[in-house]
Amino acid sequence: MTAPETQGRTGTPPQRALLDRVRGLALAFFHTAWTPTTVTIRRWALASVVVNAGIAVTGAAVRVSGSGLGCPTWPRCTPDSFVPAPHDAHAPMNMAIEFGNRLLSFLVLAVGVACVVAVWRATPRRPALVKLAMIQPVGVAVQGLWGGLVVRSLLNPVTVGVHYLLSTGMILAAFALYARSGEGDAPPRRLVHRDIRTLGFVLAFAVFVLLVVGVMVSGTGPHSGDEAASRFDFDIQMMAQLHADVVWIVIGLTFALLFALHVSDSPGRARRGALVLLGVELAQGFIGYVQYFLAVPAFLVALHVLGSTLVWIAALRVVYLMRSRGPLAALTPNRTDTARV
């Protein structure tokens, strides 16, 4: 066989090197899920938080770029193709953006499946982690089906809003998995006064209410995702004012929590967590006011969605930092791993 023929069948040396590297990385990631440690389980859980937050933000990017119906059908992108194909009613860029967001759901699914494999393969197996991990692939399936409803409803603001709120639920489950994978299984023990912990729950609920109101504002204002999309029949000024009022309530509750944690000499990690939450809230508030006075530019809307997601994660983190379930027990190596050694 001649050199050109060999090159044609196996690829050029740079291509072979790239494929080998990709294959090696894929096997390395698979190995961390198949032979889990306490560290790798927590890393997969953190990866789940990141990808779920990421797809929520890219979903906003789809909307503000006017690409919400870039793929006008579901599950196909166009009536005759699962991938973007020339379509008179949609620009290639819009189709690429929408299709790219659909592809990201497979990354979220892959990470979710890795979380399930890791916690299932862990010895001893922890049922609480298995239940939390199972939410990820199931949630991706639910989100995929709901995404089809979003497309078929021509981006009805109710379906779009629920789509985002489902993502916040996925983030909650992923963060719970991350927090629980770093602690033991003892009964939860409060690290702060009971009333302070209750205040933390109230604050987290207020943040969720803020997200709901934000969804209503988004469904009323510009950036619907497509010219064919409908909007809520609310007064945008009234909705913006309601959103600002809830923001001030959240910030007030955060200040109250910080003060209570300080005067009660609560653990430093809880105080630092509340301080981080306040910092993220203030940054998010700044972005919100800037986008309002600049007539809601698309870039700042997407950045604001990122900020909303970070506020939600920071609020959840504070709740988990105010209690403990004891030290984390080490995992026992699997038999297959021991035999391999």
Residue 11: predicted pLDDT: 57
Residue 334: predicted pLDDT: 59
In terms of phi and psi (left: phi > 0; alpha: psi -120 to 50; beta: otherwise), the region of 225 is left
Decide: 191 and 34 in contact? Cβ < 8 Å.
no
Q: For residue 20, tell me if it sits in a domain.
A: no
**pTM of the full structure:** 0.89
Domain region containing 287:
188-324
Q: For residue 120, tell me if it sits in a domain.
A: yes
Whether residue 181 sits in one domain with residue 79: yes
Whether residue 156 sits in one domain with residue 102: yes
Q: For residue 211, tell me if it sits in a domain.
A: yes
Count of domains in the chain?
2
Find the farthest-apart pair of alpha carbons in the chain and give their distance in angstroms, rounded: 80
> Among residues 164, 187, 210, which one ends one of the domains?
187
Alpha carbon distance 168, 132 (integer Å): 15
Q: For residue 10, tell me if it sits in a domain.
A: no
DSSP string covering 247-298, please?
HHHHHHHHHHHHHHHHHTT--HHHHHHHHHHHHHHHHHHHHHHHHHHTT--H
Decide: 161 and 305 in contact? Cβ < 8 Å.
no
Q: Which residue has the tokens 């189709």?
A: 95
Whether residue 162 sits in one domain with residue 67: yes
Alpha carbon distance 206, 281 (integer Å): 13
Decide: 315 and 203 in contact? Cβ < 8 Å.
yes
> Among residues 157, 187, 217, which one ends one of the domains?
187
Whether residue 193 sits in one domain with residue 176: no
Residue 163: predicted pLDDT: 94
Residue 333: predicted pLDDT: 63
Residue 3: predicted pLDDT: 47
Q: For residue 78, tell me if it sits in a domain.
A: yes
Whether residue 41 sits in one domain with residue 181: yes
Q: For residue 262, tell me if it sits in a domain.
A: yes
Q: For residue 228, tell me if it sits in a domain.
A: yes
Whether residue 172 sits in one domain with residue 157: yes
Mean pLDDT, 10 residues at a time, over the chain (341 residues)? 47 70 74 88 95 93 88 87 78 87 93 95 92 96 93 92 95 96 90 94 97 93 82 90 95 96 91 96 92 86 93 96 85 49 26
> Among residues 165, 187, 209, which one ends one of the domains?
187
Alpha carbon distance 319, 1 (integer Å): 66
Q: For residue 330, tell me if it sits in a domain.
A: no
Whether residue 178 sits in one domain with residue 193: no
